[in-house]
């Protein structure tokens, strides 16, 4: 089975495109959050200098800095041409919308926000939904009309 590394933006009907996606998503999550953590360090240094230049006002960014870095990382990478974060590309998966349109920046941010909210409420139990819902979709995928497909 060969799947196009640059998937069409519509979700394929072939069941093989969704085979093993859930475990790949878990590993992609780990890779992506390691990258976000690595990006957070230079952002924290930058905020330090902004704080000094603004006489302490910039230090107010520290409590939300992780959310800013993660939001930009996921928003820019999911709305990019590959429709996948670097972790997702490493695991051979991409995100598509069921209506066939590209994932835009706002949808990518909404996907991330819903993931954080639902994960804080349901803990890792949201992964169990992927075992029972068609196309191995998670709850936030259902709410936004997205799916994750294999590219390799």
Q: Extract the runs of DSSP E, i.e. beta strands, from 53-92.
A: none
**Does residue 62 sit within a domain?**
yes
48, part of any domain? yes
Residue 2, in any domain of the structure:
no
98 CB neighbour count, 10 Å cutoff = 16
For the stretch 78-113, pLDDT in tens is: 999 999 999 999 999 999 998 889 999 999 999 999
| Mean pLDDT score of the chain | 90
Judge whether 90 lies within some domain. Answer: yes
How would you label 104-114 residue by residue, b for 16+ Cβ within 10 Å and e otherwise? eeebbbbbbeb
pLDDT reading at 1 higher than 50? no
Question: Of 139, 133, 134, 151, which Cα lies nearest the Cα of 95?
Answer: 151
pLDDT digits (tens, 9 = 90+) for 54-66: 999 999 999 999 9
Instruction: Give the separation between CA 29 and CA 6, rounded to whole angstroms.
Output: 20
Identify whether 1 is part of a domain: no
Is residue 7 classed exposed, middle or buried when 0-12, 13-18 and 19+ CB atoms within 10 A define those classes? buried
Q: Does residue 71 carry a pLDDT above 90?
A: yes
Where in the sequence is the domain holding 69, given as residue range(s)? 20-150
Asked whether residue 96 is assigned to any structural domain, the reply reads yes
Assess if residue 10 is contained within a domain: no
Q: How many domains does the chain have?
A: 1
Q: Which is nearest to 138 in space by CA: 59, 52, 21?
A: 21
58 domain-assigned: yes
Name the residue with higher pLDDT: 147 or 8: 147
């Amino acid at each position: 089975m060969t799947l196009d590394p640059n998937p069409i933006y519509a979700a394929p009907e072939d069941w093989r495109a969704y085979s093993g996606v859930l475990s790949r998503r878990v590993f992609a999550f780990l890779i992506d959050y390691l990258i976000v953590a690595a990006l957070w360090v230079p952002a924290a240094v930058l905020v330090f200098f902004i704080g000094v230049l603004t006489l302490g006002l910039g230090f107010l960014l520290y409590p939300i800095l992780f959310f800013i870095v993660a939001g930009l990382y996921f928003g820019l990478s999911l709305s990019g041409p590959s429709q996948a974060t670097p972790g997702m590309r490493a695991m051979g998966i991409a995100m598509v919308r069921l209506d066939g349109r590209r994932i835009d920046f706002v949808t990518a941010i909404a996907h991330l926000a819903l993931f954080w909210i639902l994960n804080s409420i349901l803990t890792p139990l949201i992964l169990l939904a992927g075992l029972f819902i068609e196309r191995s979709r998670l709850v936030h995928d259902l709410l936004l009309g997205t799916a994750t497909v294999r590219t390799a």
